[in-house]
Structure 1
Amino acid sequence: MNRDRVSALAHADHPIKAPLDDDSVRQLLGHAVPRGDARALDLGCGGGEWLLRALGGHPGLRAEGVDISEGSLRQAGEAAEGLGVRERLVLHQQDGAAFASADPFDLVLSVGAAHVFGGLLPTLAAARKHLAPGGRVLIGDGFWEREPSAEAVEMLGDFADLATTLDLVAGDGWTPVHGHVSSRRELDDYEWSCWGSLASWALDNPADPESAEVLETAATRRTEWLRVYRETWGFVTLVLRPTSG
């Protein structure tokens, strides 16, 4: 089963593809949208969940989303139609690192997509290129809550601890104006939801030729979470403004 399909099944009950609950998402967007008529850009928008919520909460907002997945963008467009916000949403199927726009944006989002750009600071560099004066960036990425095992680093990537992560952000010319560290409940709810949804699909579709593989994938991912990174990995979402310029 291709990666997009696996991701869609895993996130069936948790459309925000990050360990954040609905209240956290709403509060972050409340701090991130600078005004009612703002323009927002999501680099690596997936199914457009962040933009859809921003558009729903801010009737004057206009938004653009960039992603390489045709299926995810189709999902975003269909969801926008259902919510009545399609005319305020433009979708681009291309690599977020290569995206260019003639006009800047008041808000640039990239949550859980830093791997697309090669890490947190390269993601911020990409966001800066699109940011209007006085604009804000909403970015979410992982960090190590405590010293990880070599297996965890190999599996998830080379993160820093939270304090060092914030130091790196500040050193790159950004000032945090709001932030949220995902709680243990949010982290656990996300993992249970992802691998439970995947397993449920496999159990509900035993005749599907990919059912056994999907069920095995769900079990493997759940075991990796519990045995490799549950006690060490965290997630932080930041609202940032350029420190100068």
Structure 2
Amino acid sequence: MPQETTTWQERITSNESVWNRAHDIHPVLNPLYDESVRRILGRAAVADAPRVLDVGCGLGGWIFKILEFRPDATCVGIDMEASFIERARAEAEQRGLSDRVDLRVGDAVRDLPDERFDLIVCAGLPEAFGGLEPMLEKLRPLLSPQGRMIIGQGIWEREPDEECLRVLDASREDHGSLEETIDSIAHAGWAPVYGHKSTEQEWDDFVWACVDGLTRWALDGDGAGAGAETPRVLLAVSEYRHAWLNGYRGTLGYMTFVVRPIPRTWQPLVASYELARRTWTASSP
């Protein structure tokens, strides 16, 4: 048997069959319940008839939730996986939403539109930009001055041990604590105005959706996971489940923030309490 060279993360994230199946039972592919998504969207409320951009839109889970929540919204979605965009377009047509959705195949970093939006969603994608702060800097010019951005970000709920880092193929610096993450957002010149920490049950249900998707991919014989590929896929299920239960469960958390851009001259006032206090005192009459 050839030596396995890919990790379970790569095998899962690189195959659309997994996400197609997980999407059927967990439409927003982040560890969030529908009620949490609605609350986040409520806190990100913006102008009438908002223009929305979803960066890395995948199968369109966030887009369809936004269009349900805001019937006056129009959305642009970008994803580099053509099969995701194709399926999202088909779903938009089936829902009668094609006139409100513009779905584009493109790189989330290099193919951003030259437009302004009232709301931007970028959930769980900072690594594609080289980190949270570079992502915020890159997306700032696309947001209207009064706009909001929804970002999803992993956090360490407790210090990761060596086994956690090993199964995630991660380093301690890949994420911060909640406090460190909020400081990073503020230092990048944004005001965090709402945050939702996914509950343990939200995380568990999301992982089970992925496990279910992988298992159906392996066993249901749809041409993508049948036959010779089945043992490899089942191995990925086992590795994924082991990594969750014995590695990062309870250690890696997930935060969804609503943030607003701060004018450059005012950025020191949100960077940190101590810096803000000193800056304001120094500038006061």
Give the TM-score category using the shorter length. Answer: over 0.9
Aligned in 2, Cα 1:207/1:244: closer, same or farther, shift over 3 Å? closer
Q: Which 5+ residue runs of structure 2 have no aligned equivalent? A: 1-10, 265-285
Asked if 2 retains the 8 angstrom alpha-carbon contact of 1:39 and 1:107, the reply is yes
Q: CA deviation at 1:212?
A: 2.2
CA offsets 1:57-111 (integer angstroms, 9 cap, x no match): 2121111011100011011111111221111111121111112433200111100
- Whole-Å Cα distance in 1 between the matches of residues 208 and 112 of structure 2? 37
Partners of 2:216 and 2:104 lie apart in 1 by 32
| 1:197 Cα offset (Å) | 2.8
SS of equivalent to 1:19: coil
Moved more, 61-70 or 109-118: 109-118
TM-score normalised over the length of structure 2: 0.80
Corresponding residue of 1:177: 193
Q: Does 1:199 align with 2:215?
A: yes
Q: 2:230 & 2:157 partners in 1: Cα distance?
A: 35
Deviation at 1:207, TM superposition (A): 5.3
CA distance in 2 between counterparts of 1:219 and 1:195 reads 9
1:75 matched to 2:94? no
Instruction: Give the structure 2 partner of residue 189 of structure 1.
Output: 205
Which is further off, 175-184 or 197-206?
A: 197-206
**1:241 matches 2:253:** no
Q: Please tell me whether residue 121 in structure 1 is matched to residue 133 in structure 2.
A: yes
Pick aligned residue for 2:246 from 211, 224, 227: 227
Aligned residues: 245
Give 1:46's aligned residue: 58
Asked if the contact 2:21–2:216 (Cα under 8 Å) also holds between the matched residues in 1, the reply is: no
The letter for the 1-side match of 2:70 is H
Identity among equivalent positions (%) equals 38
Give distance in 1, aligned partners of 2:23 and 2:79: 17
- Which amino acid in 1 is paired with 2:263? S
Q: Give the aligned partner of residue 268 of structure 2.
A: none
The two structures have a TM-score, normalised by structure 1, of 0.93
SS at match of 1:17: coil
Q: Name the amino acid aligned to 1:183.
A: T
Which residue type is aligned with residue 218 of structure 1?
V
For residues 1-245 of structure 1, the aligned pairs below 5 Å read 3-154=15-166, 155=168, 157=170, 158-205=174-221, 208-244=227-263
Runs of 4 or more, structure 1, over 4 Å off, are none
Distance in structure 1 (CA, Å) of the matches to 2:169 and 2:54: 23
Where do 5+ consecutive residues of structure 1 fail to align? none
Asked if the contact 2:114/2:142 (under 8 Å) is kept, the reply is no
